[in-house]
Amino acid sequence: MLNVKASRPALAAGLAVVMVLGYTLARPASRPATHPAAPVTQGADSNEFAPFVFIHAGDPELGSPDLPGTSKRFGQLAQRANSIGAAMVVIAGDLVRNGDKADQLRALDEALKTFKMPVRAVPGNHDDLAAFRKRFGPENSVFTVSNCDFVCVNSNDLSASALSWLEEALKLAVERRRTHVFVVMHHPPEDDKAIGKLLSKYGVAAVLCGHLHRTGEAPHKGYVTYWVSGTAKFRDENGLRYNVFRVYKDRIEQESLPLEKDVGRMAPTSSMPASRPQTHGMP
């Protein structure tokens, strides 16, 4: 079970502050979504922190023709998010199976309406960038919740210009004294690649991913990567899962939860360690 040390009233008060602070995208959705010279997190000048809860989900692949029930299961996720009062939901890509298919995008639009909180996302390899931008804004963006930066990265394009955008975003988070920094990207990062080195360098707390259709976590030098099977299909023994993160000033607690009761189990293996509540100390 999750060990929540903060009192419930404190958490509730924290959520109220989160709602007041609001959410900001790096840039308006209507601008061209190339890599900007420097990420700007508008309206997030305050360094005020209050505890909050968010959900990390992945790969809903809504409207997928060979996966019946994707909308129903994504709806279950919305119910969970609504019932625990999550401040927001981040979806780590592959929102639909065929990114430009109108019926699948309609299923996505309908599903998004069922969440009572903001839903943020990054594109996966199945997503169409134009359709993504229309719904979520630029594919590389930063938003701030309660003095925590969420740096959203399009991992389909880790070119030099994309990486320099990411480095600017991470530098700015340090300059702005963010309490915690999360990076959201569809493909899990690799340590020996340039992106792995960047993530280690700037004090990222956690990297939230999808794509594998598996659930697990891996410690890296300076940060932890989490990946979730998501709401459409799974390729491990753990079933459909999502992560709940409880964010406190001095620690972040993570819990992997099954979407459907009695389906799947978390089985520890050397390559895919069991997910469990995690506590990350402040740097």
d(CA 205, CA 252): 8
Can you list the alpha helix ranges (DSSP code H) found in 157-273? Answer: 160-175, 194-201
Report the SS3 class of residue 188: coil
Sole residue written with tokens 């899990």: 188
Smallest gap from residue 108 Cβ to Zn ion (A): 15
Smallest gap from residue 105 Cβ to Zn ion (A): 17
Smallest gap from residue 124 Cβ to Zn ion (A): 4
Smallest gap from residue 154 Cβ to Zn ion (A): 12
94 or 217, CB closer to Zn ion?
A: 94
Note the residues at the interface with Zn ion (CB under 5 A): 94, 124-125, 211
27 or 211, CB closer to Zn ion?
A: 211
Q: Are 50 and 15 in contact (CB under 8 A)?
A: yes
Smallest gap from residue 282 Cβ to Zn ion (A): 33
Rounded-to-10 torsion of CA 233, 189, 51, 1: 50
d(CA 109, CA 112): 5
Q: Are 87 and 127 in contact (CB under 8 A)?
A: no
Smallest gap from residue 176 Cβ to Zn ion (A): 31
14 or 210, CB closer to Zn ion?
A: 210
94 or 253, CB closer to Zn ion?
A: 94
How many separate helices (H) and strands (E) can be counted in the chain?
6, 11
Smallest gap from residue 93 Cβ to Zn ion (A): 6
51 or 63, CB closer to Zn ion?
A: 63
124 or 189, CB closer to Zn ion?
A: 124
Residue among 205, 127, 185, 282 nearest 195 (CA): 185
Write the DSSP string, 92-147: -S--BSSTT-HHHHHHHHHHHTT-SS-EEE---TTS-HHHHHHHH--SSEEEEETT
Report the SS3 class of residue 199: helix
56 or 180, CB closer to Zn ion?
A: 56
Tokens of 20: 């007041």
